Amino acid sequence: MFRYLALVTEIISEESILLTVDLGFGVLKIQEFRLAGIDFSEFRGTQNREKAALIKKTLTEKLLNKEVTLKSLKSEKSGTYLAFIYMTSKESSYNDELIASGLVKPFIKRPLSNKQ
């Protein structure tokens, strides 16, 4: 897991944000990240669109154009970059705060079934 300073430049959806990441030595990279540790499966399809819009609005109000610290990792399954977002003045991640608010559920990795 890597830690970087970043600027939130766009809220793409209820689960994805665009960050300008400071890689050090004056190197900046614009990269899309999914919020790690959150189960967004309930927002697939047409149901829960209102709740998804509320989450996107909340993300916009709290994070857009803010400097953050991110811990990133690459998903083994899809290759997508995942991120835990930390406001510079807080110890807990914004991901955890979003879960604590009750708007989303934590992602729980389910074991593969032993079908034979």
At 76 the pLDDT is 67
Domain interval for residue 52: 2-106
Residue-averaged pLDDT of the chain: 89
| pLDDT for position 24 | 93
pLDDT in the model for residue 59:
95
Q: Is residue 113 part of a domain?
A: no
pLDDT at 44: 76
Per-residue confidence band for 77, with pLDDT thresholds at 50, 70 and 90: confident
CA 77/CA 34 separation, integer angstroms: 13
Would you say residue 115 lies in a domain? no
Position 43 pLDDT exceeds 90: no
Number of domains the chain is built from:
1
35 falls within a domain: yes
Give per-residue pLDDT as tens, 85-106.
998 777 889 999 999 999 899 9
Contacts with 115 (C-beta within 8 Å, 6 or more apart), sequence order: none
In a domain, 16, yes or no: yes
Q: What is the CATH number of the domain that holds 70?
A: 2.40.50.90
Q: Grade residue 15 by pLDDT with cuts at 50, 70 and 90.
A: very high
Assess if residue 116 is contained within a domain. no
Quick check: is 79 in a domain?
A: yes
Say if residue 114's pLDDT is above 70.
no
